[in-house]
Amino acid sequence: MKNIPFLLVGIFFGIVMTKSEALSWYRIHEMFRFESFHMYGIIGTAVFIGAIGLQLMKRSGMKTLRGTFVEYKPMQLRLTRHILAGSVFGLGWGLIGACPGPMYILLGNGYWIAGLLVLSAILGTFAYGLIKDKLPH
């Protein structure tokens, strides 16, 4: 029961991603071809408002519902890892035009092929877990 609020925020997010067209394969393809401002506008606005909001949350010393302060555990800076890992993700994102959130939401929109995307992404995650010690981090 205590997770019901997360379900509601998830429903909101699913509607937002569908109506924003951010889960469209065509929008992502268009973005990587620089033929529309649409996706850049969405990401830019989200980060601009997001950065201001998070700063306010941190500086006001706001407590979360779990009683914690708003903070972010920084990742260790590892140039090679970030570029390599990001590129692998980007190769997949560019091909299927869906990042993880849209995979689930496309499935909700009735695109059954997105179920195969989710399964394949789980398989990719599993493969990473098996060979991660052999990769540069």
Residues 71-110 that bind another protein (CB under 8 A): 72, 74-79, 81-101, 103-110
Smallest gap from Cβ 59 to another protein, in A, equals: 13
- Our finding on whether 59 is near another protein (CB under 8 A) is no
Here the tokens at position 5 are: 């609020």
Q: Confirm or reject binding of residue 19 to another protein (CB under 8 A).
A: yes
Q: Does residue 60 interact with another protein by CB under 8 A?
A: no
Spatial separation of the C-alpha atoms in residues 10 and 13, rounded to whole Å: 5
Provide DSSP, 14-73: HHHHHHHTTT-HHHHHHHHTT--SHHHHHHHHHHHHHHHHHHHHHHTTPBPTTS-B----
> Which residue from 59, 60, 61, 112 is in contact with another protein, where contact means CB under 8 A?
112
Residue among 23, 60, 61, 134 that touches another protein (CB under 8 A): 23
